[in-house]
């Protein structure tokens, strides 16, 4: 609790209530508004631009300074020195693992490196070409049936089993979505490979053949997972928390997060970036699209630009951009026409007054879309890969919420409909 207090008073009356301020370890303190209903009003904050929905010790973002910390560690340092699985351990447990803890964690994840035949059968019910996000959302929800007897959400061991299962199985499910979407047979998981290489081998390998995934692409894939691992109370994480607050099955909660992630204003932006680049088609059309993005009447937005929280730069985008250059060089794709449009668009938008004034910088989705396209991943899979990396964030927040006292999330509303009226006689 901070020493600061606010008083909310109604003009012309004596009504006044004291609103305590709760201090944060970093960033803005929060005004505790629990007493506001005593005024006869609720607070109104559509889009939650001014509302902290929970307490959390997992991730901190300073959007003005372009800072992202996981358990206190800057994302740039994690990207340079850690890997995805170690970052998963950190997010869940709060501390980096020792060497032996890391080894044990990797073994635990490998021990869950399979999917039940029921899940495979469920997947086979989708027609080829079904959107991979639709399949992922459904199969993760279906896992709530498979694991219902071992998901007592009030039991810490059951919760940890769920965490480990989800981290292990998401890349398998994601790769299955891709193979099914493309009409290809599944490639089995291989415990001799790292997490990221195994994923790329399941995506692009040949059943029964040795992995031929290059170390540069393995590193880039691991980085994509790591950079997407968590981002505090974004739309999908808040959705998982809200679903989980009713005590719902965690696999169903994660499916709700996948659904929220799918939209183009959130994780779906990486697919939308590629579609936009294809629509632009040629560098000579860029100016026309920039004009459309600035035109309020048009509704078109430059996909991969802007962020609700980052108003300086997205630190993940900075790291992703470096990886992007590395991958393009490795694959000899520096002169790919679509990628040339992307580079030119980035340059123009960074200099254009409209984008500079509104602080619309390229976000993580802009560069991740380009890398994934270069690796040969189809745009429909981009958001699935985002979901695969983000699952650890979702489940860490879910676990944090359930490990502490919590109430069901239940926002209020400003009602603007009819007053009560009688059914016509």
Query: For ligand ACO, which is the closer residue by CB, 102 or 301?
Result: 301
Binding span for ligand ACO by CB under 6 A among 3-11, 62-70, 279-287, 359-367? 359-367
Q: b/e string for 304-314 if b means 16 or more Cβ within 10 A?
A: bbbbeebbebb
Q: Is 231 part of the annotated catalytic residue set?
A: no
172 binds ligand ACO (CB under 6 A): no
Beta bridge mates, 30: 22
Q: How far apart are CA 152 and CA 249, in angstroms?
A: 8
Backbone angles phi, psi at 363, to 5 degrees: -100, 180
Dig out the tokens for 424 from the structure: 């016509």
Dig out the tokens for 80 from the structure: 């340079």
230 binds ligand ACO (CB under 6 A): no
Instruction: Count residues binding ligand ACO (CB under 6 A).
Output: 18
How many Cβ atoms are within 10 Å of 285's Cβ, its own excluded?
12
Among 102, 110, 112, 308, binds ligand ACO (CB under 6 A): 308
Q: For tokens 């937005």, name the residue.
A: 301
The DSSP annotation for 22-47 comes to: E--SSS--EE--TTGGGGT-----GG
Q: How far apart are CA 320 and CA 297, in angstroms?
A: 33
How many Cβ atoms are within 10 Å of 97's Cβ, its own excluded?
17
291 binds ligand ACO (CB under 6 A): no
Among 153, 166, 248, 303, binds ligand ACO (CB under 6 A): 303
What separation in angstroms does the CA of 310 have from each of 17, 94, 169, 341, 416? 34, 24, 31, 24, 33
Binding span for ligand ACO by CB under 6 A among 160-168, 297-305, 334-342, 400-408? 297-305
Supply the minimum distance, in Å, between the C-beta of residue 332 and ligand ACO.
28
Query: For ligand ACO, which is the closer residue by CB, 198 or 237?
Result: 237
From residue 237 to residue 276, the character string flagging contacts with ligand ACO as x (rule: CB under 6 A) and all else as - is: ----------------------------xxx-x-------
Catalytic residue among 62, 112, 131, 266: 266
Q: Which of residues 191-220 bind ligand ACO (CB under 6 A)?
A: none
305 binds ligand ACO (CB under 6 A): yes
Q: How far apart are CA 113 and CA 209, in angstroms?
A: 18
Supply the minimum distance, in Å, between the C-beta of residue 336 and ligand ACO.
21
Query: For ligand ACO, which is the closer residue by CB, 302 or 339?
Result: 302
222 binds ligand ACO (CB under 6 A): no
Tell me the Cα Rg of the chain.
Answer: 23
Closest residue to ligand ACO, judged by C-beta, is 306
68 binds ligand ACO (CB under 6 A): no
Check the CA dihedral 295-296-298-300 and report its sign.
Answer: positive
Which residues sit at the interface with ligand ACO, rule CB under 6 A? 265-267, 269, 293, 301-308, 358, 360, 363-365
Q: State the catalytic residues.
A: 266, 307, 365
């Amino acid at each position: 609790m901070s020493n600061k207090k606010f008083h909310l008073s109604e003009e012309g009356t004596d009504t006044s209530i004291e609103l305590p301020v709760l201090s944060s370890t970093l960033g803005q303190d929060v005004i505790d508004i629990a007493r506001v209903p005593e005024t006869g009003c609720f607070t109104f904050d559509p889009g939650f631009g001014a509302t902290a929905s929970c307490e959390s010790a997992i991730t901190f973002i300073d959007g003005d300074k372009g800072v992202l910390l996981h358990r206190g560690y800057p994302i740039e340092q994690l990207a340079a020195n850690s890997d995805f699985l170690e970052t998963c351990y950190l997010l869940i447990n709060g501390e980096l693992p020792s060497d032996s803890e890391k080894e044990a964690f990797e073994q635990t994840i490998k021990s869950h490196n399979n999917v039940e035949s029921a899940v495979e059968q469920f997947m086979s019910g989708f027609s080829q070409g079904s959107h991979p996000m639709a399949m992922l959302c459904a199969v993760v929800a279906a896992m709530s049936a498979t694991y219902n007897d071992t998901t007592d959400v009030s039991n810490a061991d059951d919760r940890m089993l769920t965490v480990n299962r989800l981290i292990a199985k998401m890349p398998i499910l994601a790769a299955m979505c891709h193979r099914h979407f493309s009409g290809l047979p599944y490639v089995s998981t291989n415990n001799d490979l790292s997490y990221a290489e195994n994923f790329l081998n399941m995506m692009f390998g040949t059943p029964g053949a040795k992995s031929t995934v290059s170390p540069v692409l393995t590193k880039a894939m691991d980085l994509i997972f790591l950079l997407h691992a968590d981002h505090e109370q974004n739309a999908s994480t808040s959705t998982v928390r809200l679903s989980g607050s009713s005590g719902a099955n965690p696999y169903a909660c994660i499916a709700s997060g996948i659904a929220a992630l799918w939209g183009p204003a959130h994780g779906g932006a990486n697919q939308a970036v590629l579609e936009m680049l294809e629509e632009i088609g040629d560098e000579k059309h860029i100016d026309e699209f920039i004009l459309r993005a600035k035109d309020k009447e048009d509704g078109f937005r430059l996909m991969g630009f802007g962020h609700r929280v980052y108003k300086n730069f997205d630190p993940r985008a900075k790291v992703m951009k470096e990886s992007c250059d590395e991958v393009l060089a490795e694959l000899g794709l520096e002169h790919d026409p679509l990628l040339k449009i992307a580079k030119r668009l980035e340059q123009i938008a960074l200099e254009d007054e409209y984008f500079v004034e509104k602080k619309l910088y390229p976000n993580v989705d802009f560069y991740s879309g380009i890398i994934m396209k270069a690796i040969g991943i189809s745009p429909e899979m981009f958001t699935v890969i985002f979901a695969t990396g983000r699952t650890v964030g979702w489940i860490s927040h879910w676990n944090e919420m359930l490990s502490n006292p919590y109430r069901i999330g239940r926002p209020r509303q400003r009602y603007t409909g009819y007053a009560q009226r009688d059914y016509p006689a």
